[in-house]
Every structure is written in structure tokens, then in C-alpha cells.
Amino acid sequence: MRHQHEADSREERAGCAVVAALPPDPEAPLRGVEVEGLAGEFRRHSADRYDVGDTPFIGTATPPIRVVRVIDFDQFLAVDMRVGRVTAVDDFPEARKPAWKLTIDFGPELGVKRSSAQVTNYGREELEGRLVVGVVNFPPRQIGPFMSEVLCIGASDEAGNVILLAPDADVPLGSRIH
């Protein structure tokens, strides 16, 4: 359930927006904060609330901070992220965006899974033998002629390259991320 921010008593100024953060408690009121210079980037949903897409923003005198949807701990636990080791890296010329086909060993409990990963900033030799973190309980996804069973987790650097997340020490294959 989405809540509307109560009418802000401040007068709206050109180039400013009152934005809201979704609280974890659906019955709690939203908190509005005025953000200088961002009104043009926000899509107006009501007389007192702005969003960019479905993600509310909050802000102060510093640059605004994107607030993602708050989930509870049980929802986090439902995402099964495990450590695996890349055992093979294959070309994927049929992919619309440059990608590798990865074969990843997640240990005896989960076995070997395949993933299409847009991590071509890594060479084949950098990926083979590397530990990676993958979401293993999403449904398989057809990517061109390839069925991807795992979503490898990474973060984008300033250039837009995906930097794969991995433990900084050896852990058993199939170890759960908590």
C-alpha cells in the first residue's frame, strides 16, 4: 500500500520538490524533504509527493539519496545468495549485449549452474577459477538460445563496468551469504 505525504506547509518554490521516503511501517506517515533543483526530474503523483519511477527520493542540502523499498529480514532471507567458483567461461556471440556464458560450481548441495553474465570487462582467464556470489533461487531465464540459472551479483564502477562481488577469503562452495 502506498501512502501519500500529508500536505507540506512550506510554500513550493520553483526548482524545488518535496519528496518522500517510504517507511517500513505502512501505517506510518511519510517524511517529506525539500530538495533544491530537482523538481524538473520528478514526476508528480499528487499535490504533495514526487517520485522518479517507483523509487522515492529523500534529500537535504547535500545531494539527494535514493531510498529503495524497505523490506523485512524474512524477505532478505528469501533471496538465496551463495558462493560459487567459475569453472568455465564460454563466448556468447548470440547475446544482444556483450556477455559471457559462465559455468559455476556451487558445491555438492547445489551442484553446477550456468549463468549469462554481462561482465566482459573481465577476460576469460580472470574469470576462470574466480569465486563469485550468485542468486540461486530465481527461476531460470531464457537469454537468447541460453538458459541462465543464476544471477551473478556485482556493482557498477564509475565507467559502468560490473565489478563482481566475491568473498575476500576462501570459503566452501555453496556458502550462503547472510
Segment 149-176 shows an average pLDDT of 96
Counting Cα atoms < 13 Å in the Cβ hemisphere of 80 gives 12
Q: Which of 33-50 are b and which e, b meaning 16 or more Cβ less than 10 Å from the residue's Cβ?
A: bbbeebbeebeeeeebbb
DSSP notation for 47-107: TTEEEBTTB-EE--SSPPEE-PPP--HHHHHHS-EEEEEEEEEEE-TT-SS--EEEEEE-H
Handedness of CA 38, 42, 48, 49 (dihedral sign): negative
Domains and CATH numbers, the chain: 16-66 (no CATH), 75-164 (2.40.50.140)
**Percent of the chain surpassing pLDDT 70:** 62
pLDDT at res. 25: 53
Mean pLDDT of 55-75: 68
> What pLDDT score was predicted for residue 154?
96
Choice between 72 and 59, residue whose per-residue pLDDT is larger: 72
Rounded to two decimals, what is the model's pTM?
0.64
Q: Kindly state the average pLDDT of the residues 35-45.
A: 40
